[in-house]
Amino acid sequence: MPVFAEMPGQGGTGPVVTVGTDSVPAPERFGWWSEMVGHEIMPVAVRSAHTAVFRGRAEAVVLPHSQVTTFDFSPMTARRSPVHIRRHDPENYYLLLVRDSSVRLEQARGVACLQAGNMALFSTSHPLACEFLDHGRQTRLTLMRLPRPVPPLADGRADRLLAEPLSPLAGSAALLGLYLAQLPQAARTCDQAELARLGAIGVDLAATLVAARLGAQDTLPAETRNAVLLARINAFIDHQLGDPELNPAAIAAHHHVSVRTLHLLFRSEPETVSASIRRRRLERCHADLTDPRLRRRSISAIAARWGIPRPADFSRAFRAAYGVTPRELRQAAPLSLPDANGLR
């Protein structure tokens, strides 16, 4: 399957590539968009009431075994017929996350009317009808391509879920939504090894979501279950950083595992549980100390906000991490936010 880097109008380097209609002559934009969708997702017939003023943008994170693409485009409809399937079928599953506007998806015997935050699964191997409803604004959505060999997709059982709304609030679905939202920014700053790890986490979360809906959790390998548990734990740590009682014992108890199991899970991580908590707290403090909007907030209050109530402990840990004291960092920080042009 062609990658975005081969399309005209592409921008960006590394694993994150952006393409859009802005660099295409206006009369050619809708045709260009149709061709891009056919190359990158699957051949479809598209129609739009906005062909004369059509705008579209796509940002793709190209991962070792999947791809996550965020789309922003004028309202349109897409139809995939048996003729399209015979012409070319990449045999992929896609997880669709609606970010803005509404989408009506029909495939197999399923019909899903999706609002912002909703997810659904579709396949390139079955006829499909998709209407991106016109609410007077751009449609925004994210597609995650899933490798078919991954359980529970390999045996075709996932076809039972085609065009069926997937709850965005339950367990792995909530984590997956957060993952998809944060992936582009994270991918821009990581090396190839970390990118492969990020890609694997996304596939594990999606596979767990599908398996849970199918009642097929037993088909998931132990590595996938452990990866999803680790993702849940990391999300819990981020959410609870302000609690000074956050520690390995509390984390283990919340997730109904032993402290030993928790430490074993973190063996694959670059740091221990306690070191991870300390680093994240100091990073949040560093961000607050350099934020001009928080200039009036005391250093001790910032530390306490992120779960470090003892000023002496905070100053010592901060200096060890950054080579300066919290006060020195704040004194060197800008007094105001830059304007849109990067000027004071």
Map tokens 């009369």 to a residue. 27
pLDDT at 338 over 80: no
pLDDT on residue 343: 42
pLDDT at 321 over 90: yes
CA angle centred on 65, ends 9 and 89, rounded to 5°: 70
3-state secondary structure the chain: CCCHHHCCCEECCCCEEEEEHHHCCHHHHHHHHHHHHHHHCCCCEEECCCHHHCCEEEEEEECCCCEEEEEEECCEEEEECHHHHHHCCCCCEEEEEEEECCEEEEECCEEEEECCCCEEEEECCCCEEEEECCCCCCEEEEEEEECCCCCCCCCCHHHHHECCCECCCCHHHHHHHHHHHHHHHHHHCCCHHHHHHHHHHHHHHHHHHHHHHHCCHHHCCHHHHHHHHHHHHHHHHHHCCCCCCCCHHHHHHHCCCCHHHHHHHHHHCCCCHHHHHHHHHHHHHHHHHCCHHHCCCCHHHHHHHCCCCCHHHHHHHHHHHHCCCHHHHHHHCCCCCCCCCCCC
Torsion of CA 11, 48, 88, 125, to 10 degrees: 110
The mean pLDDT of 131-141, rounded to a whole number, is 93
pLDDT at 340 over 60: no
pLDDT band at 13 (very low <50, low <70, confident <90, very high): low
The mean pLDDT of 281-303, rounded to a whole number, is 95
pLDDT at 342 over 60: no
Please count the other Cβ atoms lying within 10 Å of the Cβ belonging to residue 172.
Answer: 21
Give CA separation, 52 vs 73, 133, 175, in Å.
13, 18, 39
pLDDT band at 166 (very low <50, low <70, confident <90, very high): confident
Which of 5, 83, 2, 86 is CA-nearest to residue 41? 2
The mean pLDDT of 120-148, rounded to a whole number, is 93
Instruction: Tokens for 52, please give them.
Output: 């004369």
Give CA separation, 151 vs 166, 173, 200, 227, 261, in Å.
18, 17, 13, 14, 25
CA separation for the pair 149, 135 (Å, rounded): 38
pLDDT at 8 over 60: no
Instruction: Tokens for 92, please give them.
Output: 């992929």
The pTM (predicted TM-score) of the whole model is 0.80
Which of 245, 253, 242, 247 is CA-nearest to residue 273? 247
Model confidence pLDDT, tens digit, residues 196-228? 888 999 999 998 998 888 888 888 888 888 999
Positive or negative, the Cα torsion across 108, 110, 115, 117?
negative
CA separation for the pair 313, 310 (Å, rounded): 5
- Which segment of 111-115, 267-271, 283-287 scores lowest on mean pLDDT? 267-271
